Amino acid sequence: MSDFSHPTHSNFLLLTGSYDKLRSILHPFRLGLNSQYDDQLIENLKQGDSAAFEELYHRFKRMIYTFCLKLTGERFAAEDATHDTFLKMHQNIESLSNPSMFKSWLYAIARNQVYKNLKKERRNGSVDADTVWSSETPHSLAEASDTSSIVNRCIDALKPEYKEVLILREYEQYSYTEISTITGDSESSVKSRLFKARKALAEKLGPYFGGQP
């Protein structure tokens, strides 16, 4: 069996140039975080320090909002999910026994808030379980003028359950075990979704990067 965790086994990464190319395209997620400082803020928050909450909010809000926006594709939905994420973070901070897990814990809260809202929407419509796409992309791709736009529009067209594993693995470089913890799914499920997402992107992007459709 192929090891899909290695960049050389992803046609998508080859089509977009390199592993670093993909990370640069998703660059807006990156923050200069100081884990030791964050650990102290978390301990202060547990002691009821409201200033610690405000600092944590300002340090992580962009990361969480961008993640929610990528999953939902809608600014207002992302804002609501971000607001609810930090509200739940404040309410449940005592349950976080290991401060070093704060970032992945926060991601888990955010994705759960997004999925909670998406479940409400999906009750009102049909979902094709056999595709990784949430929408068609050819026309929007034809309008894109650069590599970043083409790749981002394809990623935006993925269903949330495929987008999240792609973002967490390719950009954040979380391990399969960590992604499994964040999503609440088995490692085999995470690997399967990531492989399907990469394969679908490679097929969709092929014509735009000199590959086969």
**Span 189-198, pLDDT tens digits:** 999 999 998 8
Helix runs in 93-207, H state only? 102-122, 138-143, 147-156, 160-166, 176-183, 187-205
Q: Which tokens sit at 31?
A: 């923050």
Task: Give me the residue spans of the domains in the chain.
Answer: 27-125, 128-213
pLDDT value at 8 more than 80: no
* Backbone dihedral angles phi then psi of residue 58, each to the nearest 5 degrees: -70, -30
Confidence (pTM): 0.71
Q: What is the second-level CATH architecture of the domain 27-125?
A: Orthogonal Bundle (1.10)
Is 127:155 a contact under the CB 8 Å cutoff?
A: no
Fold held by 128-213? Arc Repressor Mutant, subunit A (1.10.10)
What does the pLDDT look like over 139-196, one tens digit per residue? 454 555 566 777 777 888 888 889 899 989 887 888 999 999 999 999 999 999 999 9
Per-residue pLDDT, 178:
93
Whether residue 19 has pLDDT greater than 70? no
Averaged over 52-60, what is the pLDDT? 94
Tally Cβ neighbours within 10 Å of residue 101. Answer: 13
User: Is 123 a residue whose pLDDT tops 80?
Assistant: no
Asked if 155 contacts 201 with a C-beta cutoff of 8 angstroms, the reply is yes
pLDDT of residue 10: 42
The pLDDT of residue 71 is 86
Token pair listed for 139: 């026309």
